[in-house]
């Protein structure tokens, strides 16, 4: 019989206290509600539970620019009026008017959800967990120098950069209704990360990217997978397209770690989303990936009906911990949110919900699936981690410390080469450690487990 997965759950009770402002759809409070359902179902007894560290500015600078992090550190609702130029530069604005408002505690909020994803990645890398969960993470739109689509720091990119120190290939899968553009863009040129996003796409829907023809660039060609979908996709259509594509990706690319973004705005009845998925179908994607037994970091993302986000992420926590849970919700602090059914698998549609027919015809879905599968066949097996040749103009003496002799481009290449060198060393060391563990048997236990309570 298969061994039960060791699951690390990372949660900070303060993450639900941040507030994007009235009328903004993103409500961090949903994390607190999801957490209460997880506790109510006693799923915390099936996991090692951790409070995260707060990610430092230096950790964030591994992907984001120095200037952007400095700006996020400094900006507050009180001083923002003196920083109008920098706000425009980094795509943040006033509460109530913008996708990415400046709200109280914006930087500590970013530190918490980013620290949580980094801690999850660390648990997979030190081998103490097979699965790590951070429902507060998954902010897939953030770019290196700017905020986008409610996302300020891209915790996913930062976690993947960590995972690359130990795993030769990382697969990113995104089932949020929006395209995972920030993650795709960060790794567009490399074959060490494959990104796959399932999303609504019509050229207009935010962020307006993610056509099936976008497949990656340079060494990363065919390592970006985009599955553009139309309004109203239902459970069976989604399953029909998700499973064969993921099976082919895993068979061809042979990832050694997976990061899964479980944005819950792909559920039926979402305030921003236009899909028609049930909690069962959303969870089936998680269950399907779990079945491959590859170390996996699971993060949240969008989701704008609090009660449904909580239902979805609690159900997925049950799946990841191999737990049976009752359809009757456990008593919890937010009981009234779940009226009138008080059930886990309820009718997700609210009273102001407008129904959309499934506009994805069988022919359309077959066409998208065949195009994606054809592209994947161009990959011809799992890429190795060998370093790529540099154009001569960018060649640098890696050992040179003489800053004055190098152009800015050469300095950038030198820093990148050093970072990649460290990553290669990291995962080679892991192979050796794993070999030793196989020979001598590995110690169990997860070390610094902490009770996180309510």
The three-state secondary structure class of 406 is coil
Query: CB under 5 A: which stretch of 46-54, 189-197, 226-234, 360-368 binds Ca ion?
Result: 189-197
- The response to whether 99 counts as a known ligand-binding position is yes
Q: Which is nearer to ligand V1D, 285 or 325 (CB)?
A: 285
List binders of Ca ion among 74-113 (CB under 5 A).
none
- Taking CB within 5 to 8 Å according to partner kind, which of ligand V1D, Ca ion, none is near residue 265? ligand V1D
Short-list 266, 305, 260, CA closest to 282: 266
Pairwise CA distance, residues 230 & 243, whole Å:
18
Sign of CA dihedral 278, 284, 289, 293: positive
Name which position in 52, 115, 138, 228 contacts ligand V1D (CB under 6 A): 138
- The response to whether 68 counts as a known ligand-binding position is no
Pairwise CA distance, residues 269 & 71, whole Å:
36
Question: Which residue number is nearest to ligand V1D in terms of Cβ?
Answer: 302
Phi and psi at residue 14, to the nearest 5°: -85, -15
Query: CB under 6 A: which stretch of 32-40, 132-140, 414-422, 436-444 binds ligand V1D?
Result: 132-140
Q: Verify binding: residue 174, Ca ion, rule CB under 5 A.
A: yes
Q: Verify binding: residue 195, Ca ion, rule CB under 5 A.
A: no
Question: Prior bond to 355 cis, omega within 30?
Answer: no
Query: Is 141 an annotated catalytic residue?
Result: yes
> Which parts of 126-234 fold into alpha helices (H)?
155-163, 181-186
What is the smallest separation between the CB atom of 331 and ligand V1D, expressed in angstroms?
Answer: 29
Name which position in 41, 71, 150, 337 contacts ligand V1D (CB under 6 A): 150
Phi and psi at residue 129, to the nearest 5°: -140, 150
Name which position in 163, 272, 305, 314 contacts ligand V1D (CB under 6 A): 272
Q: Verify binding: residue 52, ligand V1D, rule CB under 6 A.
A: no
- The response to whether 44 counts as a known ligand-binding position is no
What contacts 6, CB < 8 A, 6 or more positions away?
48, 128, 129, 130, 131, 446
What is the smallest separation between the CB atom of 193 and Ca ion, expressed in angstroms?
Answer: 16
Name which position in 12, 155, 176, 191 contacts Ca ion (CB under 5 A): 176
Helix (H) or strand (E) holding 424: helix 408-440
Q: Verify binding: residue 25, ligand V1D, rule CB under 6 A.
A: yes
Which neighbouring-strand residues pair with 187? none
Place of tokens 């230096």: 58
Q: Verify binding: residue 206, ligand V1D, rule CB under 6 A.
A: yes
Q: How many positions of this chain bind ligand V1D (CB under 6 A)?
A: 19
Q: Verify binding: residue 270, Ca ion, rule CB under 5 A.
A: no
Pairwise CA distance, residues 93 & 362, whole Å:
42
Name which position in 265, 365, 368, 430 contacts ligand V1D (CB under 6 A): 265
Whether residue 259 contacts residue 196, with contact meaning beta carbons closer than 8 Å, is answered with no
What is the smallest separation between the CB atom of 447 and Ca ion, expressed in angstroms?
Answer: 34
Q: What is the DSSP string of 256-275?
A: SEEEEE--GGGBTT-SS---
The three-state secondary structure class of 9 is strand
Q: What is the DSSP string of 312-377?
A: HHHHHHHHHTT----SBPPP-TTGGGGTTT-BSS-----TT---------HHHHHHHHHHHHHHHH
The three-state secondary structure class of 151 is strand
What is the smallest separation between the CB atom of 139 and ligand V1D, expressed in angstroms?
Answer: 5
- Taking CB within 5 to 8 Å according to partner kind, which of ligand V1D, Ca ion, none is near residue 332? none
- Taking CB within 5 to 8 Å according to partner kind, which of Ca ion, ligand V1D, none is near residue 302? ligand V1D
Pairwise CA distance, residues 122 & 141, whole Å:
23
Q: Which is nearer to Ca ion, 176 or 191 (CB)?
A: 176
Query: CB under 6 A: which stretch of 138-146, 188-196, 407-415, 438-446 binds ligand V1D?
Result: 138-146
Q: Verify binding: residue 249, ligand V1D, rule CB under 6 A.
A: no
- The response to whether 265 counts as a known ligand-binding position is yes
Query: CB under 6 A: which stretch of 17-25, 77-85, 334-342, 355-363 binds ligand V1D?
Result: 17-25
Among the options 24, 90, 141, 230, which is catalytic?
141
The angle that helices 155-163 and 106-125 make with each other, rounded to 10 degrees, is 20
394, with CB counted inside 10 A (0-12, 13-18, 19+), is middle
Q: Which is nearer to ligand V1D, 272 or 346 (CB)?
A: 272
Annotation: binding site for a divalent metal cation: 176, 178, 265
Task: Give the residues lining the site for Ca ion (CB under 5 A).
Answer: 174, 176, 197, 199
Annotation: binding site for substrate: 99, 149, 304
Task: Give the residues lining the site for ligand V1D (CB under 6 A).
Answer: 23-25, 99, 138-141, 149-151, 176, 178, 206, 263, 265, 272, 301-302
Report, as residue numbers or ranges, the catalytic residues: 141
């Amino acid at each position: 019989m298969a061994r039960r997965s060791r699951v690390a759950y990372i949660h900070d009770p303060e993450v639900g206290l941040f507030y994007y402002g009235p009328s903004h759809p993103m409500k961090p409070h949903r994390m607190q509600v999801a957490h209460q359902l997880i506790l109510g179902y006693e799923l915390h007894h099936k996991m090692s539970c951790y409070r995260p560290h707060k990610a430092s500015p230096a950790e964030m600078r591994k992907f984001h620019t120095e200037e952007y992090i400095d700006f996020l550190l400094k900006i507050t609702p009180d001083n923002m009026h003196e920083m109008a130029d920098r706000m425009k530069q980094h795509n943040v604005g006033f509460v109530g008017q913008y996708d990415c408002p400046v709200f109280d505690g914006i930087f500590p909020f970013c530190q918490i959800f980013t620290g949580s994803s980094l801690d999850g990645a660390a648990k997979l890398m030190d081998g103490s967990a097979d699965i790590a969960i951070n429902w507060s993470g998954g902010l897939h739109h953030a770019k290196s120098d700017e905020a986008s689509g409610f996302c300020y720091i891209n915790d996913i990119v930062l976690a993947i950069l960590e995972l690359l120190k130990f795993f030769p290939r990382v697969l990113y899968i995104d089932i949020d209704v929006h395209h995972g553009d920030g993650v795709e863009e960060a790794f567009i040129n490399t074959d060490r990360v494959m990104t796959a996003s399932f999303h609504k796409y019509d050229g207009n829907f935010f962020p307006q990217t993610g056509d099936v023809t976008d497949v990656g660039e340079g060494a990363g060609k065919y390592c970006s997978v985009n599955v553009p979908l139309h309004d109203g996709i239902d459970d069976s259509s989604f399953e029909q397209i998700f499973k064969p594509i993921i099976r082919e990706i895993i068979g061809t690319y042979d990832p050694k770690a997976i990061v899964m973004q479980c944005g819950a705005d792909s559920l039926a009845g979402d305030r921003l989303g236009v899909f028609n998925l049930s909690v069962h179908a959303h969870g089936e994607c998680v269950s399907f990936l779990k079945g491959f037994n590859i170390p996996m970091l699971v993060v949240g993302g969008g989701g704008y009906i609090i009660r449904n986000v909580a239902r979805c992420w609690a159900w997925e926590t049950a799946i990841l911990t191999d737990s049976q849970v009752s359809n009757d919700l456990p008593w919890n602090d937010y009981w009234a949110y779940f009226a009138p059914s008080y059930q886990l698998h309820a009718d997700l549609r609210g009273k102001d919900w407008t129904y959309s027919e499934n506009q994805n015809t069988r022919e359309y879905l077959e066409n998208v699936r065949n195009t994606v599968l054809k592209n994947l066949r161009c990959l011809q097996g799992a890429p190795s981690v060998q370093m790529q040749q540099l154009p001569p103009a960018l060649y640098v003496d890696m050992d040179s410390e003489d800053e004055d002799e190098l152009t800015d481009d050469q300095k950038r290449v030198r820093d990148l080469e050093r970072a990649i060198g460290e990553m290669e060393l990291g995962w080679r060391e892991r192979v050796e450690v794993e070999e030793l563990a196989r020979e001598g048997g590995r110690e169990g236990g997860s070390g610094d487990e902490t009770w996180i309570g309510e």
